[in-house]
């Protein structure tokens, strides 16, 4: 009697075959996997993202048990592929399917543990799902000790920004102004920049209140799309403590 092999097992074998040791070595450095770094202990097979995206169509019918197996993998690319499949299922699904994807994501949040995993999934599976619902969950994530949960909170708002709804982005950005993590500074600055692309006046009002006390990286990302005279103005503002703003 032949043994039935799960789609997840087939997928993991395919990933092993596609791995490139040189790419893996580069990824280990790029995603800061050394001791004390943000991606400490993460393991890479060495597969480019476009290759993973091509696999999504082949494995898009994976069920929750298959996706859970991918999410449990120590291999970064397996988790990323699982999330890309989940995003695909969310985008193609009706409301019950979208809810299932969102609930699955929340159950496996601890496995969404690097910035590319967050950025490729949070806007769709969290942000889009919460656009017409209570956003309290985002503020819960923003209070987490986990860097990745805090990043999910702010990056998820990209889906709302795309609908000209940035109230949550601004509220979370204000909460995260003094976050100690550089990756959060970049994420918040990026979302503020996206707001500014759609309404420069909204971003300008936020910066007038907060630019003087923002971490420099956050400010640099936020003003990146502005004309040079405006960027210079914000860069040269006298620095203030949060209590002074």
108 located within any domain = yes
181 assigned to some structural domain: no
Residue 6's pLDDT band (cuts 50, 70, 90): confident
Higher-confidence residue: 241 or 105? 105
What is the distance between the alpha carbons of residues 68 and 216, in angstroms, rounded to a whole number?
Answer: 39
Q: Identify the domain containing residue 37 by its residue range.
A: 1-120
Name the packing angle between helices 182-198 and 200-210 (round to 10°). 140
Q: Is residue 234 part of a domain?
A: no
Q: Number of folded domains in the chain?
A: 1
Residue pLDDT, tens place only, 159-194: 999 999 999 999 999 999 999 999 999 999 999 999
Q: What is the pLDDT of residue 243?
A: 65
Q: What is the mean pLDDT of the chain?
A: 95
Helix crossing, 7-18 with 76-92: angle to 10°?
130
Q: Which of 192, 229, 194 is nearest to 211 (CA)?
A: 192
Is residue 25, in this structure, part of any structural domain at all?
Answer: yes
- 226 belongs to a structural domain: no
Which bin fits 238, alpha (ψ -120 to 50), beta or left (φ > 0)?
A: beta
Has residue 150 been placed in a domain?
no
For residue 76, being part of any structural domain is answered with yes
**174 within domain boundaries:** no
């Amino acid at each position: 009697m032949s043994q039935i092999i799960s789609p997840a097992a087939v997928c993991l074998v395919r990933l092993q075959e596609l791995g490139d040791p040189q790419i893996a070595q580069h990824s280990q450095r790029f995603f800061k996997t050394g001791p004390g770094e943000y991606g400490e202990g993460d393991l890479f097979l060495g597969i480019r993202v476009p290759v993973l995206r091509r696999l999504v169509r082949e494995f898009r019918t994976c069920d929750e048990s298959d996706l859970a197996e991918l999410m449990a993998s120590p291999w970064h690319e397996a988790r990323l592929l699982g999330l890309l499949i989940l995003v695909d299922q969310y985008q193609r699904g009706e409301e019950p399917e979208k809810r299932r994807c969102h609930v699955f994501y929340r159950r496996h949040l601890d496995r969404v543990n690097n910035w590319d995993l967050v950025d490729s999934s949070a806007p769709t599976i969290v942000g889009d799902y919460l656009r017409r619902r209570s956003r309290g969950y985002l503020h819960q994530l923003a209070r987490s000790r986990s860097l990745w949960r805090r990043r999910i909170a702010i990056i998820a708002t990209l889906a709302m920004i795309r609908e000209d709804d940035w109230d949550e982005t601004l509220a979370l950005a204000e909460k995260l102004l003094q976050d100690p993590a550089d990756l959060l500074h970049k994420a918040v600055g990026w979302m503020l920049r996206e707001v500014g692309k759609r309404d420069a006046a909204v971003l300008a009002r936020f910066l007038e209140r907060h630019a003087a006390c923002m971490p420099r990286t956050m400010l640099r990302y936020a003003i990146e799309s502005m004309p040079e005279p405006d960027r210079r103005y914000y860069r040269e503002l006298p620095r203030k403590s949060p209590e002074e703003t």
